[in-house]
Structure 1
């Protein structure tokens, strides 16, 4: 018999921190006053989003023309593109909120 705690620790082990994204600085690393590290990370993320959406669009064209062998490939690519777009929009909204909050701070 297993205890419920064993299931929880197994689930928590699956939530281990992900390795850093290629092209981004390690947490706490100094990137300079210019913010070049953030700009590079943002550019990389937007390029990956564009690639994901392009792959989804290509599979959609294949599905429309009847050349697609497995509809699951298109469904997976479409959902990946949708989730990536939602994430980018949420990050943008948080950045705008943070900027507005900083602008409201008294000097």
Structure 2
């Protein structure tokens, strides 16, 4: 007789690492800090290039584009959150 094998969901649950749940506020703060860090890094690279430090132009452009993409993503997320909030406020109870 063979032992009963656990179902697939039990196996998946066993292999999933335990996660620490962080609050929404903490997650939002970290995301905003990430956007700020990318903007500061872009500003620093641009300043170094202007001052004539040993910085490659393509590195400055890559950092600048990463900062731009990060900021645009944050703005789109904000727009969706505001839109969802407004939709909830329009609902009748």
State the TM-score, normalizing by the size of structure 1: 0.64
Offset, 1:69: 2.9
Note the residue ranges of structure 2 that are not aligned, 5 or more in a row.
1-19
Question: Residue 76 of structure 1: which of 62, 65, 72 is its match?
Answer: 62
Q: CA RMSD in A?
A: 1.5
Q: Any idea what SS the aligned residue of 1:94 has? A: helix
Q: Which has the higher helix share?
A: 2
Task: Find out whether 1:52 has 2:38 as its counterpart.
Answer: yes
- Which residue of the partner structure matches residue 5 of structure 1? none
Runs of 4+ in 1 over 6 A off after TM superposition: none
Note the residue ranges of structure 1 that are not aligned, 5 or more in a row.
1-23, 26-35
Q: Which has the larger radius of gyration?
A: 2
Q: Which has the higher contact order (CA 8 A, sep 6+)?
A: 2
- Which residue of the partner structure matches residue 61 of structure 1? 47
State the TM-score, normalizing by the size of structure 2: 0.74
